A and B are shown apart, each in its own frame.
Chain A
């Protein structure tokens, strides 16, 4: 509990003693952290360090073995995914699997059908197709080129990742969790997505980014948390974290950079 900072107001997300054991393997162990509203938290760590399990735990896709998750001071531990989304947490998946047969913008119909969207819109869904097209333009689908009307199966990876981002934005969340959004993208594609995330930040959204692309992440992250073997081994500003000997040994050292 050493680096635990007590803040005056309730943080947006508070994770306490979170533990998950998969049949003898501890994927996440005794994880603690607070995330104030409006922050961008980067989560890094070697493969198998429990990053994705952490995302699954927070979003309710996996039930924790022990521990507590609070969102806006309300306990959401072990809630099913749809209820977690209802509170205002949305996520992207590392492996994107859109509905390949549908045009890109029709992919957004499913999140736009969500009860949360209906509630925020004052009980009416409105014209979902138009909202979907606007959202896609926001994440860089060129309207003039009619990319949004193409079948999702015909789109390159860069667009699919943006579609995934748009899907999570469609839920109008307060906290967005991006699970390796940049993986499998070229430098140019990453460079084109970074401004979208920065824009989300300026709009006051709280963001957690799981990333392997450290350079891009460090540029936009307020704080960085390092995981190894399911434990948090460091947390703080990017520059500070990288100085920690634990991190050097566990993460950077192993990559041989």
Chain B
């Protein structure tokens, strides 16, 4: 006797997909609870943690931002292996504005976000016309070469970096800043990808030929997505700089490239919530496994392989399915 798994949408999901959702509090709760979890979890839960874990939460949020930026690029079929490019450029921009011009974080961060977004977009613009593998290659190579540039020409503080930058007034401020940014990006990106615009973006990675023949300039759309992703990445960099009071070559380190990819793949790509979940699993885990040293990176590498090959949908899609559908085994003969 053979069995097959049958998946059926829950009644509440079917009802709440329409205007009828407004007729009952159960449907409204069904719709609101998933969105409320990150808001309540981040804004209410993290402030009561100890100083050390707040610090961990902040660095988790930085990685989560990079992971969501990675996911945005992935939506348009751009595989970035160099999120550290965005992080490093955002970090150096904010750092030098603060170090040389003496601007406060409230100015350096927005300038570095937008300016870094423009800079990274211009840097990567020529690659957008090429196959996906090229984007991966160039993004992997660029940050490492840029850090060499800094080392060789001794600009921007050289190997020493820029130190003694203005910190945030206190830890709690930093925590709220980064977590508000995280929520804004999460809901903003989800909103964008849920719209018709998002449909076009996904169309580009799915079948660019079809989008081209629909009279849309795919390079212009890819550029827009690249700009969005780069801005978020650069914001993470600018924030990290003021957090550590330091901007330097470690901003281009491989860590900032690997962790976001691993988080996004483990959490589930294309959903933005997935990368968030992935980062909130992997980064604290990495903190707890600090004693293992290099073995941590081995684990992340293996996570990446296992999830890409074996569980490409990721954790979030699995949770989402459980939330929205009932499953049962049925006999087939």
Task: Please list the residues of chain A having a beta carbon within 8 angstroms of any beta carbon in chain B.
Answer: 59, 61, 80-82, 85-86, 90-91, 93, 97-99, 102, 106, 109-111, 113-117, 128, 167-168, 170-171
Contacts and interface: CB of A to CB of B under 8 A. Distances in A.
Interface of B: 196-197, 199-200, 202-203, 206-207, 209-218
Contacts of B215: 81-82, 85-86, 90, 111, 114-117, 171
Given A90-B215, A110-B199, A171-B214, 15 more contacts: A59-B213, A61-B213, A80-B212, A82-B215, A85-B215, A93-B213, A99-B202, A99-B203, A99-B207, A106-B199, A109-B196, A110-B200, A113-B216, A114-B215, A115-B215
A85 B213 contact: yes
A82 to B, nearest CB: 4
Max chain B Cβ within 10 angstroms of own Cβ: one of A93, A98, A110, A115: A110
B209 A93 contact: yes
Contacts of A98: 210
A111 B209 CA distance: 12
B251 to A, nearest CB: 37
B213 A81 contact: yes
Contacts of A85: 213-215
Q: What 4 pairs between A and B have smallest CB-CB spacing?
A: A85-B215, A114-B215, A111-B214, A81-B212
A55 to B, nearest CB: 10
B76 to A, nearest CB: 14
Nearest to A84: B215
Nearest to B214: A111
A85 B218 CA distance: 13
Contacts of B196: 109, 113, 128
Contacts of B216: 82, 110, 113-115
Contacts of A109: 196, 199-200
B205 to A, nearest CB: 11
Nearest to A106: B199
A93 B210 contact: yes
9 contacts: A61-B213, A82-B218, A85-B213, A86-B215, A99-B202, A109-B199, A111-B215, A113-B197, A116-B215
A192 to B, nearest CB: 23
A interface, by DSSP: helix, strand, loop or mixed? helix
B214 A110 contact: yes
A128 B195 CA distance: 12
A250 B214 CA distance: 35
Given A106-B199, A109-B199, A114 B214 contact: yes
Contacts of A170: 214
Contact of B213 (A91, A99, A106, A128): A91
A39 B206 CA distance: 34
Contacts of A171: 214-215
A190 to B, nearest CB: 23
B321 to A, nearest CB: 15
A170 B196 CA distance: 15
B147 to A, nearest CB: 37
Contacts of B217: 80, 82
Contacts of B199: 102, 106, 109-110, 113
Contacts of A168: 213
Contacts of A111: 214-215
A102 B203 CA distance: 10
B170 to A, nearest CB: 46
B74 to A, nearest CB: 16
Nearest to B215: A85
A97 B210 CA distance: 8
A90 B207 contact: no
Contacts of A61: 209, 212-213
A82 B207 contact: no
A113 B210 contact: no
A86 B202 CA distance: 22
A110 B211 contact: yes
Max chain A Cβ within 10 angstroms of own Cβ: one of B200, B207, B214: B214
B67 to A, nearest CB: 23
B128 to A, nearest CB: 14
A171 B207 CA distance: 18
B206 to A, nearest CB: 6
A105 to B, nearest CB: 12
A78 to B, nearest CB: 15
A257 to B, nearest CB: 33
B214 A113 contact: yes
Nearest to A116: B215
B51 to A, nearest CB: 46
A114 B196 CA distance: 11
Nearest to B203: A110
Contacts of B202: 99
A210 B199 CA distance: 30
A102 B218 CA distance: 20
B46 to A, nearest CB: 36
